Amino acid sequence: MQANRRDARRNDRAGWWCGILVLGLALAAAAPALAQKDGLYDEGRVLEHMRNECRGTPDCMTVESRDRRVAVGQSAIVRAHCPSSHPHVVGWDTEQSEHLAVTALPPKPQAGAAPDPEDAGSLVASRVLVGATNNGDKVGRVTLFVGCSAGVPKVTATLRHRSGVPSHHTTFSGGPR
């Protein structure tokens, strides 16, 4: 009977240590996930203005919109107009938070006409409209830069969308973290 009690106590202690060992292994396996930053985006990172709005067009001037804040889960329209001295849009660029996606909006269709998807990102007269959508967990900001020319530019392609690669999802070398 004494031997059975001793064996039972030894088995209880062994079970307790096994439980600690299993818990320790589980915590060690979960440590990388627990240490990972919240969200996909680095909300402090800014995609810099790359000065692509004029694309080498002579006599091109840059017009800057006001800084626009975009709330979490919201979208905003940002616009910029060329002055009468330089009425032709050459292109556009932004400075924006990494977690914002900015897309050129199509021109307003004629009354009663359906919008043409091919018009998305096209440049109309002397203005550019873009939609900025916040995909992150913090307020983001965007500033629109429009290149304006005195003469009709020879533009063959226009920017349609700008967004950042989620910093917390990949490394800057392209591989997974």
Q: Classify the phi-psi angles of 87: left when phi > 0, otherwise alpha if psi is within -120 to 50, otherwise beta.
A: alpha
Residue 109's pLDDT is 64
Q: Given a cut of 60, is residue 170 above it in pLDDT?
A: yes
- Segment 163-171 mean pLDDT: 76
69-107 pLDDT, tens per residue? 999 999 999 999 999 999 999 999 999 999 999 999 886
Asked whether the beta carbons of 65 and 79 are under 8 A apart, the reply is yes
Q: Is 167 helix (H, G, I), strand (E, B) or coil?
A: coil
Q: What angle do CA 33, 38, 21 make, to 5 degrees?
A: 20
Which of these, 34, 161, 30, lies nearest to 102 by C-alpha position?
Answer: 161
In the chain, the percentage of residues whose pLDDT exceeds 90 is 46
Give residue 171's pLDDT band: very low, low, confident or very high (50, 70, 90).
low
Average model confidence (pLDDT) across the chain: 79
42-79 pLDDT, tens per residue? 888 999 999 999 988 989 999 999 999 999 999 999 99
Architecture of domain 46-163: Sandwich (2.60)
Residue 2's pLDDT is 61
Which of these, 93, 82, 100, 21, lies nearest to 55 by C-alpha position?
Answer: 93
pTM of the predicted model as reported, rounded to 2 decimal places: 0.69
Identify any residues that bridge with 101 across adjacent strands, giving them in sequence order: 133, 163
Residue 154's pLDDT is 84
